[in-house]
Structure 1
Amino acid sequence: MESSKVLAAIVDDELPVRKAVGRLLRSAGLEVQCFGSGAEFIDALAGGRPDCVILDVHMPGMTGFDVQARLHASGIRLPVIFITAFDDPDAAQRLEQAGAAGFLRKPFTDEELLQAIRLAVGAGDSKTERR
């Protein structure tokens, strides 16, 4: 019997980021769904939920904070690992308050992301941060 793979959703408005992170996660044995916007991701939830979400903080339209707020308002609890290229000193605190399972600043290493996913999926309420 084959064990089921972890399904990770990547939500980032930058195609190169989605492609690179998607390749990494697939090579690590995860299933991957990619979304170019928060709204696209929210709409897709009707078809099933991922085991974790890699979510860009700064996106046009619906930000990562907006997506997380929408999930909480709908009663959907998913481990979310926020990623950002912006160096906002208050971001880590705001993201933790928003219920983040992890927070990584770009650029991050492959191992940092994979470890954050392992922690998020394996211990639903574990927190990880890289400053």
Structure 2
Amino acid sequence: MESNARRLVAIVDDDPSVLRALGRLVRSLGFDAETHASAEALLERVVAAPPDAVLLDLHLPGLRGPDAIHALRHRSTRARIIVVTGLDHPGAREACLAAGAAAYLAKPVGRDELAALLCAAEPERFL
């Protein structure tokens, strides 16, 4: 990829309003955004168009949480996975980080916090 190519962030959430809001936020930070209503939908696409980062809702119908992270890691080891949740529960943060998530954020996601996480990826992730 060329050094000036825009980086792709996949956003996975079952709430259409959250998908729209996060999509706008990600684009305002200078990234391309692709939205998916389920982890399964992203998994169907990830091999053909691997994202540089994934914003993954913790509570999705079907595949979710650490299981979704493991499935993404199996198909795309380079994506930086950032879990976002509006309904935190004990042990969820630890389980997601142990499964391979780079970060765990509470909704609503702050612009500065998200920018720092997306830009803090190791250089080889965003070449």
Do both share a fold (TM > 0.5)? Answer: yes
| Identical pairs, percent | 33
Q: After the TM superposition, which parts of structure 1 deviate over 6 Å for at least 4 consecutive aligned residues?
A: none
State the Cα distance separating 1:107 from its structure 2 match.
1.9
Q: Which blocks of at least 5 consecutive residues in structure 1 are unaligned?
A: 125-131
Q: How many residues align?
A: 123
* CA contact 1:38–1:64 (8 Å) conserved in 2: no
* CA contact 1:57–1:83 (8 Å) conserved in 2: yes
State the Cα distance separating 1:117 from its structure 2 match.
1.3
Structure with the bigger RCO (C-alpha within 8 Å, sep 6+) is 2
* CA contact 2:11–2:34 (8 Å) conserved in 1: yes
State the Cα distance separating 1:86 from its structure 2 match.
1.2
Mapped partners of 1:34, 1:100: distance in 2: 18
User: TM-score, with normalisation over the residues of structure 2?
Assistant: 0.86
Task: Name the counterpart of 1:65.
Answer: 66
| Aligned counterparts, 1:1-131, within 5 A | 3-74=4-75, 76-77=76-77, 78-120=79-121, 122=123
State the Cα distance separating 1:64 from its structure 2 match.
3.2
State the Cα distance separating 1:89 from its structure 2 match.
2.6
State the Cα distance separating 1:83 from its structure 2 match.
0.4
The alignment yields a C-alpha RMSD, in angstroms, of: 1.9
Mapped partners of 1:14, 1:58: distance in 2: 10
Change (3 A) 1:89 1:48: same
Q: Which moved more, 1:84-93 or 1:30-39?
A: 84-93
State the Cα distance separating 1:18 from its structure 2 match.
0.7
* CA contact 1:56–1:83 (8 Å) conserved in 2: yes
User: TM-score, with normalisation over the residues of structure 1?
Assistant: 0.84
